[in-house]
Amino acid sequence: MLHTIVNVFFYVLIFLFFINFILSFFSLPPSNPVVRFVSLAIRPVYEPFERRIPPAGIFNIAYLVAIWALYFINGMIQYALPARW
């Protein structure tokens, strides 16, 4: 049960990263409710990576590193939880 809750939490967060990536192709104002919600949801996770990893030309590698870190942390938590939780 707890494995599923943790998995869903991390996958929803990763999904929000992809939604933010797709929304970045459209010129939506930051006041748009969807843009604001997605941005506020991923900002606490993304901001530390954004501060430490500079963009490589037009590519923002911080997004990829943040998504990879979420997968890694999810795996570590899944491994650390007892089997029947």
Whether residue 72 lies inside any domain: the answer is yes
Q: What is the pLDDT of residue 60?
A: 84
Q: What is the pLDDT of residue 11?
A: 96
DSSP track, the chain: -HHHHHHHHHHHHHHHHHHHHHHTTS---TTSHHHHHHHHHHHHHHHHHHHHS--BTTB-HHHHHHHHHHHHHHHHHHHHS-TT-
Whether residue 60 lies inside any domain: the answer is yes
Whether residue 41 lies inside any domain: the answer is yes
20-41, pLDDT tens digit by residue?
989 988 888 989 999 999 999 9
Q: What is the pLDDT of residue 38?
A: 94
Whether residue 85 lies inside any domain: the answer is no
pTM: 0.83
Q: What is the pLDDT of residue 58?
A: 83
Task: Indicate the number of domains in the chain.
Answer: 1
**Which portions of the chain are predicted below pLDDT 70?**
85
